[in-house]
Structure 1
Amino acid sequence: MKFAIVFAALLAAALAAPVDDPKNAQILRYESDNIGTDGYNFAFETSDGTSRQEQAQLKNVGTENEALAVRGTISWVAADGQQYTLNFVADENGFQPEGAHLPRA
């Protein structure tokens, strides 16, 4: 549950970053592969520099330690014009974010 709250807050912050007029951003790429209860893969990229990709896999299937392990990356261009990237893992050990600031080309 903590993962969902933290993740939603980070995603909202990433998508709320004002760059030009994000209302006019176009979806450049969208991929989704929901393989049921065993996991999923999805990715998207928009014209305002926002992108996200995420993969999930069910670990320890059928045991009391069964857990969904999620790995992903979110990138966006912030109001300061810089690109930021958040890599994360969310699994039985909790939400583990790692961020980076990348100079924009």
Structure 2
Amino acid sequence: MKLLVLASLCVLAVARPQQDFIQPEPTQYASLQDAGILRMDMSQQEDGSFQYGFETTDPIVQDVTGQIKQIGEEVGVVMQGSYSFTAKDENGNDVPVTINWTADENGFQAQGDAIPKDANSDGAAIASFDNQF
């Protein structure tokens, strides 16, 4: 019995927090604008289609639409959208970046000036890269 009491006390001593932990106060914002969100909207229709978007003070903007589509024998969700943000160039200047994208039965396809272009559209660059290794 003494062994059981001693073991219980040891377990309690080990399980006790070793230092006083002060939990930080959660950040509370009075409004979305206080949190840096200028716009946030979303909707879903009865047919399953949807849209959402937001804009922040950073400035970051994203807009997306999607709908259900019959793809062969399966049903899937296809989406399209865009996002934009500000990046820095090699001189530290702000450069706006916008990417437009589609995700459908053909996969994810993104387009934008910030996405590197393949100089050899026939895929020879990929074959050349593979041959190097």
Divergent runs of 4+, >2 A: 34-37
Query: Greater strand percent: which structure?
Result: 1
Shift of 1:36: 6.4
> Secondary structure, in 3 states, of the residue corresponding to 1:38?
coil
Paired residues for 1:58-69 under 5 Å: 58-60=68-70, 64-69=73-78
* Percent of aligned pairs with the same amino acid: 32
| TM-score normalised by the chain length of structure 1 | 0.63
> 2:99 maps to what in 1?
86
Residue 25 of structure 1 contacts residue 47 of structure 1 at CA under 8 Å; is this kept in 2? Answer: no
Shift of 1:60: 1.7
Give the partner amino acid of 1:27.
I
Give the partner amino acid of 1:30.
M
Structure of greater relative contact order (alpha carbons < 8 Å, 6+ residues apart): 1
| Unaligned residue ranges in structure 2 (runs of 5+) | 1-33, 115-133
Task: Give the structure with higher Rg (CA).
Answer: 2
Between the aligned partners of 2:46 and 2:113, the Cα distance in structure 1 is 32
> 1:70 maps to what in 2?
79
Between the aligned partners of 1:43 and 1:99, the Cα distance in structure 2 is 19
> 2:60 maps to what in 1?
50
Aligned pairs, how many?
77
| Unaligned residue ranges in structure 1 (runs of 5+) | 1-23
> Secondary structure, in 3 states, of the residue corresponding to 2:88?
coil
